[in-house]
């Protein structure tokens, strides 16, 4: 077997990869050493800008298989037949930490899924929690700034974290999730995934339905206590990555069962909660879970950078039969995600193998820009309409239209009968066992007791009191005790 020859980027063979060219044995290096300059220049550019959020992640390939008939609710082709399989790629991630952070930390987990369907790629970008901290995207940059490193101290500050939450009572529900037992998953395999937002499905007859996605882990829920998480993070910062990689390599392929909650569009206006508010859930008693199919992960990426770091997901990647709802956070993310990828990866990031559609051709008039690989044939035009048989529109909307009315302006969400910031947080607290409640209280008090300003502490305590009087009283007592002993 012949030896492989090391080459430059242009394919020229490399004569010496151990020594740089110089002017004599001890002389200065030469600008003409193309191999040296190319290696250093490439090395300087090996790291693309880090994701501002969800920087630390793991990924895997797999498939989604339809197990139940949902054609009465959506005309999406990849869901149109029981037994049908669609290739998928998933990226799990933490939210707040940097690329070098640990996996076993108290933080929401990203659950971003790409379906390579015959009608184009469908991206479902969710979390391992069914709700979120805020409900208007204009607050998102401030929220993330409060959770990440302080510009002066260079580290995450409890003052910043809890000060933002003190001024954002709608976060109380998600705080109760995050500080509870499911705040630190034992692995990516042992947690649920949620679309979190409300989406719209449209069937072949043009009927519209609002839906929420629930991916229930078939491995069972397993979580870590704060003490267990700290111990594991100290021993192996890559614990979740290691677990996912090794499980798939052993052939222990993780899977999730997808269920949806389905609300006829006409029921949304009078539902007791605003169905488009991502800080709230739809109780299962109102809209039971209906099974759709199963997600199976069976192949690890060959190259983490090329396939996990360069993976780009955007909530605006829909297919016929699935579209957006009036969920404000979803509407904001539909711009923000795609724009972030254009900044990080370039305008042609959709041509990278992990992002390119596999089962539907991409045929449009986008041209040029960094890393363009798709040009079309020599006679293709780059404008439309044209007289040269270029691609044309279908005139078939992806989903049913929605009626809108009113004056332009800035508005809070329309309030429904049961809409407030605290009711569902209290419901979640009351669902917990006494042991779960005790751990929740300890986790909240551990962070809130570190806040330096009394007024910030008091504002947060008021939120927990409003959710449930016992909840608030226990947090208040735990915080007082910890602060007295500091």
**Positions marked active-site:** 54, 127
DSSP-assigned beta bridge partners for residue 244: none
Q: Are the C-beta atoms of 211 and 323 separated by less than 8 Å?
A: no
The torsion defined by the Cα of 337, 340, 346 and 351, in degrees rounded to 10, comes to -20
Q: H/E element holding 53?
A: none
The SS3 call for residue 349 is helix
Nearest-angstrom CA–CA distance, 14 and 17: 7
Outline where DSSP puts E strands in 230-285: 255-264
Helix axes 454-467, 423-431, angle to 10 degrees: 70
The torsion defined by the Cα of 188, 186, 154 and 160, in degrees rounded to 10, comes to 100
**Residue 328: is it exposed, middle or buried by C-beta count within 10 angstroms (0-12/13-18/19+)?**
buried
DSSP 96-153: SS-TTS-SSSSS-EEEEEEEEEBTEEEEEEEESSS--S-S-GGGHHHHHHHHSB-TTT
The SS3 call for residue 294 is strand
Nearest-angstrom CA–CA distance, 16 and 154: 43
């Amino acid at each position: 077997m012949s030896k492989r020859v090391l080459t430059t980027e242009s394919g020229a063979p490399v004569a010496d990869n151990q020594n740089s060219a110089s002017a004599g044995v001890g002389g200065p290096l030469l600008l003409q050493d193309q191999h040296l300059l190319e290696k250093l220049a490439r090395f300087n550019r090996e790291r693309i800008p880090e994701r501002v959020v969800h920087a630390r992640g793991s990924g895997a390939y797999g498939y989604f298989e339809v197990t139940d008939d949902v054609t009465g609710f959506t005309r999406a082709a990849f869901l149109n037949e029981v037994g049908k399989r669609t290739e998928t790629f998933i990226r799990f991630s933490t939210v707040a930490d940097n690329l070098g952070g640990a996996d076993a930390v108290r933080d929401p987990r990203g659950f971003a899924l790409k379906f390579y369907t015959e009608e184009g790629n469908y991206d479902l970008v969710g979390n391992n929690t069914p709700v979120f901290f805020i409900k208007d995207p204009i607050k998102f940059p401030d929220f993330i700034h409060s959770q990440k490193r302080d510009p002066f101290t260079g580290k995450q500050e409890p003052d910043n974290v809890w000060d933002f939450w003190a001024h954002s009572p709608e976060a109380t529900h998600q705080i109760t999730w995050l500080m509870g037992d499911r705040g630190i998953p034992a692995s990516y395999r042992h947690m649920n995934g949620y679309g979190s937002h409300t989406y719209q499905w449209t069937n072949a007859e043009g009927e519209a339905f609002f839906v929420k996605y629930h991916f229930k882990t078939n491995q069972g829920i397993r979580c870590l206590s704060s003490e267990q998480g700290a111990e594991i993070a100290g021993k192996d910062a890559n614990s979740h990555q290691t677990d996912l990689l090794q499980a798939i390599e052993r052939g222990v392929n993780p899977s999730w069962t997808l269920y949806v909650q389905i609300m006829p569009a006409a029921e949304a206006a009078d539902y007791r909660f605003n169905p488009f508010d991502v800080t709230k859930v739809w109780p299962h008693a109102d809209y039971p879970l209906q099974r759709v199919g199963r997600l199976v992960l069976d192949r690890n990426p060959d190259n983490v950078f090329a396939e996990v770091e360069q993976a780009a997901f955007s909530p605006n990647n829909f297919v016929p039969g699935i579209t957006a709802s009036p969920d404000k956070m979803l509407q904001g993310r539909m711009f923000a995600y795609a724009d972030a990828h254009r900044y990080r990866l370039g305008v042609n990031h959709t041509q990278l193998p992990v992002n390119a559609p596999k089962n539907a051709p991409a045929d449009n008039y986008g041209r040029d820009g960094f890393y363009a690989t798709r040009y079309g044939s020599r006679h293709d035009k780059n404008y439309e309409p044209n007289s040269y048989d270029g691609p044309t529109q279908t005139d078939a909307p992806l989903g049913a239209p929605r009626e809108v009315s009113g004056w332009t302006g800035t508005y809070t969400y329309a309030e429904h009968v049961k809409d407030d910031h605290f009711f569902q947080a209290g419901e979640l607290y009351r669902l917990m066992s006494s042991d779960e409640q005790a751990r929740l209280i300890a986790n909240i008090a551990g962070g809130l007791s570190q806040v330096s300003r009394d007024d910030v502490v008091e504002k947060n305590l008021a939120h927990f009191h409003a959710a449930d009087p016992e909840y608030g009283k226990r947090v208040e007592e735990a915080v007082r005790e910890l602060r007295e002993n500091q």
